[in-house]
Each structure stands twice: as structure tokens, then as C-alpha cells.
Amino acid sequence: MIKAAIFGASGYTGLELLRILANHPDAKVVEATSRQYKGTPVPEVFPALRGFYDGLLFSDPEDLGSVKADVAFSAMPHGASQDVVPELLKKNRVIDLSADFRLHDRETYNAWYGEHKAAHLLSEAVYGLPELYRKDIKGARLVANPGCYPTSAILALAPLAKKGLIKAGSVIIDSKSGVSGAGRGASLATSFVEASSGFKAYKVGSHRHTPEIEQELAVAAGGQLNVRFTPHLIPVSRGILTTAYAELNTALSNQEMRDIYIDAYSKERFVRLLPDGSFPDISQVRGSNFCDIGLFIEGSRVTIVSAIDNLVKGASGKAVQNMNIMFGLDEKAALFTPPLSI
């Protein structure tokens, strides 16, 4: 039985980790930390988890030395995770759900997030997108769990990038996210009254997931593919719908394009390529670890639409998928369940 610790367990990604791991056949949560709720029983903070964690109290995240686990999930905010990960790595394999170890280049990280205090680990961290880096994840000591927007965008575009088909400078990524993507902390912008009837773009041209998307598409393509990325906030609790547009170096038929995606994802249990003419809906991946993808091509112009649950495939579900790979478990364990379709 794999012993798991969750640091920052009282946020939405921490809650999702607790929910998913509650039914894992080969893993058990032995530690869940929260500064705000230390000493409080987990079900008192999350009543939905009654009967699953009745004997587990939130502990103090400062007590790093007392953690006895095989794997530590760091669900702490950007900047805070890098304070604890080096210490955790002395005893645990670590899956970090923040952005602290996703970018390989220190200067790029500093430009978008501020000074990195554990930059020596950037070169060691494996980018935790199983569909692209499964072999590297398996032997990793530190896995950097990808962001939610990048997951939806990279899975949509990587098959074409790997074939060298995308014309540089042509990629436009339009993404819409549910409010839970902003986290569990109180905020006027994401409060019910402000968000319930709104639909807006934010951080246009300046969202911090942009360099992460560019980094991974460049790796796939073997050369730089700058993107224009615009995120939007939509009045739903969870889900991301990404529409990616690109110009190809050559015209493809519809079947030629489909064949590229079939070749890339036919063996992937959590990527579902939709039938020709069908496109994803976030309601059809809700609560699941699936990424649904729909395709359209007109000559050399392509449109790829992807849908994920931002808290599952976009965060905690993918983190558990990474844990399963790291420890040689069934990759589908605790994850292969139908979406909540209504």
C-alpha cells in the first residue's frame, strides 16, 4: 500500500486528491496538511468525505520532518511549494501541483513568477503529462504536474507539433475555464454575484501559462512555436474548453489529420478522440480524468477543440495518474470512472 501525504490539502486540488485517493486500491492518504485547519478532522472541513477520512486530522505543514510517506503531493500555491519540496525530496518522491517546477529555464520562471528559491531542481523535474512523458515519469523523483490550461492546449496540439506540421507563429489558443480554476480563496472577481452572469477574458497576452504551453510545444515540434493564448472565465464551477487554431505547412485531408490523432492517442485511456463532426462539451468530462478532442480541417487551417475537468485531468486526477506510473501501479487505478454527465 502506497502511503501518500498531501500538502495544502484544504484547497480545491487538495480536496480532489482526497476524493480520488479515497477509493484507490493501492494507496492511502496518511497525512493532509493545512495551516488554516490544523488539528481539525478532515470531514469537518469537507463533510462530503465523511466515512472516508474520519480518523484523519489536518496537520501543520511546518512539521515536514514528521512526514512518513512514499509520495508527497504538494498542492500549495506557486512560490510556496518551492519552500517545501527540497525538504520533502529527502524522504519522498514528490508530485508538485504548483507551477514552481514546470518551466525548465530559470530566467523564464523568474520573468513570469519571480525569483526561484530552488532553481537547482528545475533540470531534474519531469513534466508530468503522461501522454508525452510516461517513460520519464516512471523513474522520476520529482514530477511537475502541468497546469490546467496547458494540459488542454498541449494535448490538442502536440500530435501536429510532433509531425512538424504547424507553421511557426500561427497558433491561437482560446480557452474558457470554470471558476474553480481560481482556487478556493475568497475573491470578489470569482464570487457568485460577480461571476454568475458574466463571461470575460482576463490576463490577455500576459497569462503565466503561456510560457509553459510554448515550452512543451517547442519540445514536441523541435523548434519554437510562439502562441497567442487568451483565457476566459465562464460562470460554471469546473471544466475547461480550449479551441486551438493553427496554420499547417501543408494541406491535409480530414482523414489524414484524423489518422495523426488516432496514431497519437488510440492507446491512451484518458484521451477520447470524438467521431468526425463531433466536438467536446465540458459537461461530458465533468468529474473525470478524460480529455475529449474534436477536429476540423479546411485545407491547411485546423481547429482543434479539447475539453477537460480542470480539477481532475487538469490537476489532481493527472497527479494520481502520475503517481500510478511512478509506482508501477495500474495507470487507471481510482481514475477510470464515467464522467458526471448531468
The residues that are catalytic are 148
Q: Which residues of 4-31 are buried (b: 16+ CB within 10 A; e: fewer)?
A: bbbbbbbbbbbbbbbbbbeebeebebbb
Query: What nine digits make up the cell of 50?
Result: 465523511
Distance CA 229, CA 148 (A): 13
Distance CA 120, CA 107 (A): 12
Distance CA 11, CA 77 (A): 10
With CA atoms as reference, report the closest residue to 247 among 223, 218, 227: 227
Q: With contact defined as beta carbons under 8 Å apart, do 217 and 158 qualify? A: yes
Query: What nine digits make up the cell of 12?
Result: 480545491
Angle at 330 between CA 342 and CA 88, to 5 degrees: 95
With CA atoms as reference, report the closest residue to 167 among 62, 260, 249, 55: 249
Given phi > 0 = left and psi -120 to 50 = alpha, else beta, which region is 100? Answer: alpha
Distance CA 292, CA 295 (A): 10
Question: What is the DSSP secondary structure assignment for residue 312, as one 8-state letter?
Answer: I
